[in-house]
Chains A and B, each alone.
Chain A
């Protein structure tokens, strides 16, 4: 079996790389795929926290490279889904503890056993980034509708284009606020895709539930009826090849009068 290795990257920090990795990974596993998530943010690990697996980590990626353990020993199984595993980063080392060749090696080993290997990339374009993309064949670029984040995403896309390994990259636009876009106070989805000229994989609306979910250590896709959770589930379906429409976040919501009209019109049409 040869799985797909996807790196999740952004350039700028704090735009939602780790949150996206945790949720896309969980959603893919819920759809029946075998998923391994690799945290390459050595020294500043977070992915285990978001997954609520912090207390289960015995061995880390650096321990495996130092031959203190076998690869399967370092993989932490998820609490709920046996299809999902996490390879945690070491908190006590730094990015120089890993080389791109070693990362390539780990990804190649993992893709023999898993359908998807999701690599959570650290912020920046230095060694940590070079390590993260080394083993990947696909990339997901996470950005927010802010100039700084879009600028950094543009830089990252330039670097991904230069890399021969990455064959395919798509964009996830995070923390979108439809009301601010309608009021012309935020870059719209079209503005961002116009600037970056990259295909869109999904749009995640701003959702307070994300904060609750990260504090609980429970990915939002496991919570019922959340805007962000639904959006992440749709992204997972798109990665699996299903066609799910991206909702239009820019159309103004129906006015009160329109809603009343719809109320009356719907039963009339069904007759």
Chain B
């Protein structure tokens, strides 16, 4: 797979970024600016230290854009090991020796990472986990409020429980629930799930177009876009789910594996 020739345009350079909570947003910004959706890319992580779970996070974001990550450049030993464990091709200043070392290390690391998934397992886990992971979650014991109306700008719904809305939630509206939020329509307003600290809480909608998503005390904002934002309804929806993964809000496309 490394035989595929790539031009510089398909290289995402993150070496100058710092590993703040905005890291994933910067990544999506770059993808959108360069129009890299559905392409094969290389990523340069520079000196950034990434744990394996953090890297898996990035890979799942890329999957959401249908991007194939074919190579990783990293100077950090930790990132290189994480990438190799995830089954990625790694290149860096010390990549070659690292690869040898890591194979030896993997045996000893395996003891430490008993709970960690291998790269393949993670893929299955994310797919199935989307729907079935939360069977024992707190949200099932909560009261559910069923609201059948279009939520317009300036309207606010705040409930102790789950909220189901049949209709769109337009920009400027607010939904706050201590449990899950499910929108049978386009979510463009502000949604805050798990407002009382339920980390299993999630937000599901036909289309998540929200300016801000909040789950517990975590916050995700919409990437800054350059072009006009067309909010028109597509002919087919691709339902999305936002939930916490490794202390960050990640939006999963519920359809991705079928495409």
Please tell me if B57 contacts chain A, counting CB pairs below 8 Å.
no
Total chain B interface residues with beta-carbon distance under 8 A: 16
Q: Which of A161, A190, A191 contacts B152 (CB 8 A)?
A: A161
A197 engages B150 (CB within 8 Å): yes
Q: How many pairs of A and B residues are in contact by the CB < 8 Å rule? A: 43
Please tell me which one of the listed residues B172, B228, B229, B233 contacts residue A154 in the complex, with CB atoms under 8 A apart.
B172
Evaluate contact between B233 and A194: CB separation under 8 angstroms.
Answer: yes
Partner of A197 from B168, B171, B172, B188 at Cβ < 8 Å: B168
Docked CA distance A82–B154 (Å): 42
* Contact present for B228 and A187 (CB under 8 Å): yes
Chain B residues with CB under 8 A of A185 = 228
B232 in contact with A154 (CB, 8 Å):
no
Contact with B along A143-157 (1 / 0, CB 8 A): 000010001101101
Contacts of B233 in A (CB 8 A): 194
- Asked whether, in the complex, the Cβ of B154 is within 8 Å of the Cβ of A159, the reply is yes
| Interface flag for A158 (CB, 8 Å) | yes
Q: Which residues of A line the B interface, CB within 8 A?
A: 147, 151-152, 154-155, 157-159, 161, 184-188, 190-191, 194-197
Give Cα A157–Cα B168 distance, bound, in whole angstroms.
14
A154 to B152, CA, bound (A): 6
B153–A155 CB distance below 8 A: yes
CA A156 to CA B229, docked complex, whole Å:
22
Interfacial chain A residues near B172, Cβ < 8 Å: 151, 154-155
Interface residues of B in 229-247 (CB under 8 A from A): 229-233
Cross-chain contact A158 with B228 (CB below 8 angstroms): no
- CB-CB under 8 A for A195 and B231, given A151-B171, A151-B172, A154-B171: yes
Task: Encode B144-157 as 1/0 by CB contact (under 8 A) with A.
Answer: 00000010111100
Shortest C-beta distance, B151 to chain A (Å), equals: 8
Query: What is the bound-complex CA distance between A186 and B172, given in angstroms?
Result: 21
Other than the known A154-B170, A155-B153, what 8 A-B pairs have Cβ atoms closer than 8 Å? A147-B229, A155-B152, A158-B152, A158-B153, A184-B230, A185-B228, A186-B228, A187-B228
Chain B's closest residue to A153 (CB) is: B153
A154 lies within 8 A of B153 (CB): yes
